[in-house]
Structure 1
Amino acid sequence: MRLTRLHAVFAAFLALLQPVLPAAAAARAESARGHAAHPALWRLQKGPSTIYLFGTIHALPPHFDWETPAIQAALTSADRLVLEAVIDQDPTKSAAALFRMGMAPGPVPPLADRVDPQYRDRLAAMEKKSAVPAATLDKMKTWAAGLVLFGTTIQTLGVSSADGVEEHLKAQFRASGKPIEGLETLDQQLGFFDTMSEAQQREFLQGVTDQNADDVADFGKMLGAWAHGNEKGIAASFDKDMKKSDALRTVLIARRNAHWADALVARLAMPGTQFVAVGAGHLVGSDSVQAMLAKLGYKAVRVE
């Protein structure tokens, strides 16, 4: 599993990280601006209730213009914003939650013994760059150590959540005094990792260490597909390596999408308009949120 796909899956945690977009990725993103961006937008309706579904990219180049007139109209009409999770603005609280849930309750093997030999040199290099001491990482659950080191890989790639869609949306809704809610809590998000088997956690950790020279190019392709509303392109980028691990996909994607579909159906009982923004990878493919809604008898119609 490559870093770009890991970014797509786990980028909700970028709110805890804060790196910068590299010149290479920015240049590729800049080329995508040659055509007006028009990310995909869906609408779900029942009686007096309307829910807009918008797939996001959690990190964007500065000043990347993605708000089309249709998206702006949907945002203006919305009474509230709903995100994957509302992460506390104080990063120390989020870090505390990670360490509270992520420390192993008893003795565990050193982290190096939890990856195959070919990954150990890269793991050691990442540990040196991490703000968390290696001795502490060795005492953490495998998934939690992977998330900590994921912050290091994101910094190496150089993407930032500061210019991402979620930060823009939160600022806009805070300025207008409209509520911001989450489909999950931070503890629930971390809990999905905590339910993974040790074998799945080790697969995740190895994926974090498995960097490649074309990760920036892959990120550029994913960004271009999103900017142009290309569902097949997003799915192809998202699935390129994720499909190699059905177990991880089930735990971290399909199961969450099913929970979100149930939550959206419940939210249809609320009159008014809600703008729901989740990672774009959750809104494409055979186990997308829309596919889960269809199983419940509800159709989300693409309007942009």
Structure 2
Amino acid sequence: MIAYRLRAGIAAALALLQPLGAAALEARAPRHAPAVRPAVWQVRGPHATLWLFGTIHALPPHFEWQTPALRQIIARADRLVLEAVIDRDDPRSAQALMRLGTAAHPLPPITERVPVRLRPRLVTMAGKAGVPVALLDRLKTWAAAMVLFGVTVNGLGVSGDNGVEEQLKASFRAAGKPVEGLETLDQQLGFFDTLDEGEQRDFLVSVVDGKDDDAADFGRMLGAWSHGDERAIRASFDKDMKADGALRKVLIARRNARWAQLIAARLKQSGTGLLAVGAGHLVGPDSVQAMLLRLGYRARRVQ
């Protein structure tokens, strides 16, 4: 049972690896939004076309986001490229977390890694996860934070099962088209492992320290995404990232630079593809498009 809980929690956390922050997701989000038109860009190479689609990794049930233009792009693309291909029922997510996230040397008990005021809440969250506090004590701080973040997501009424990536994977696989990842599971977990202990504890505190304005935050974020409002998307993501520059550098800037190199290599080949990554990666001065421009490729907004 504990292994299942870990697997579910880590799958939820990895599905939300983009830095939404725990305060960005809440069950009381609007179920529908008028004139939904999430942002899409197109970038071309000599013989290749790639569409860049900024996604949201978890949605309320029955939220309609596929416009006619997006459906045409999905039909035209010969492959789907995601941040990583992680199937939510795959036990390897929990196995990878335990392999990379177990501390080699004893750390203070997990409750001592957060301020005193947050310790009761942390214990409550562990109980909801069905994960003993003693197990969290053995984990590196970032790994414990990911387990608890899964609790937050699972209690919000939104789900990665309803998220854009899961729907796209199902569509492409049904059509017999390949689904690829820019990163592996170990790479994604490894980003957190590069944080020093102080940065990891900041991450843990951000997960445990719930806020009272979750519903409003999610509503703003969902509205910005669904209407393709780049400025509002950036403001929504910056709210969490500005508080932790180290996390932003690890999760956004470095990854975007690496992805741009991979995209540039694909554009030198032939074919068409849909690259779907968290919307926070496609806005701002360190966006994937900005990195691509440095490599000589200009992305054009098409929706």
Q: Same fold (TM over 0.5)?
A: yes
The CA deviation string for residues 172-209 of structure 1, in whole angstroms up to 9 with x for no partner, is 00110000000000000000011111111000000001
Distance in 1, Cα, partners of 2:153 & 2:169 = 22
Q: 1:202-213, aligned counterparts within 5 Å?
A: 202-213=201-212
Partner of 2:288: 289
Say if 2:122 is the partner of 1:120: no
The unaligned stretches of length 5 or more in structure 1 are 1-7, 15-20
- 1:127 maps to a residue whose letter is A
Greater alpha carbon shift after TM alignment, 245-254 vs 63-72: 63-72
- 1:300 maps to a residue whose letter is A
Give SS of 2:160's match: coil
Q: CA deviation at 1:117?
A: 2.0
Say if 2:193 is the partner of 1:194: yes
For the aligned residues, what is the CA RMSD? 1.8
The unaligned stretches of length 5 or more in structure 2 are 1-11, 19-24
- 1:43 maps to a residue whose letter is Q
Give SS of 1:51's match: strand
- Change in Cα spacing, 1:212 to 1:98, as seen in structure 2 (3 Å) is same
Distance in 2, Cα, partners of 1:128 & 1:47 = 55
Q: CA deviation at 1:148?
A: 0.3
Q: CA deviation at 1:211?
A: 0.7
Q: CA deviation at 1:122?
A: 1.5
Give SS of 1:126's match: helix
- 2:270 maps to a residue whose letter is P
Distance in 2, Cα, partners of 1:124 & 1:89 = 25
Q: 1:43-62, aligned counterparts within 5 Å?
A: 43-62=42-61
The CA deviation string for residues 213-258 of structure 1, in whole angstroms up to 9 with x for no partner, is 2112211110111111111111111111311211111011111111
Q: CA deviation at 1:89?
A: 5.0
Q: CA deviation at 1:22?
A: 6.5
TM-score for both structures, normalised by structure 1: 0.90
State, as a whole percentage, how many aligned pairs show the same letter.
Answer: 60
- Change in Cα spacing, 1:63 to 1:130, as seen in structure 2 (3 Å) is closer
Distance in 2, Cα, partners of 1:232 & 1:9 = 25
Give SS of 1:162's match: helix
Give SS of 1:157's match: coil
Distance in 1, Cα, partners of 2:218 & 2:302 = 26
- 1:226 maps to a residue whose letter is W
Q: CA deviation at 1:155?
A: 2.2
TM-score for both structures, normalised by structure 2: 0.90
Say if 2:127 is the partner of 1:104: no
- 2:226 maps to a residue whose letter is A
Partner of 2:67: 68
Count of residue pairs the alignment pairs up: 286
Contact 2:31 2:62 in 1 (8 A): no
Distance in 2, Cα, partners of 1:131 & 1:97 = 19
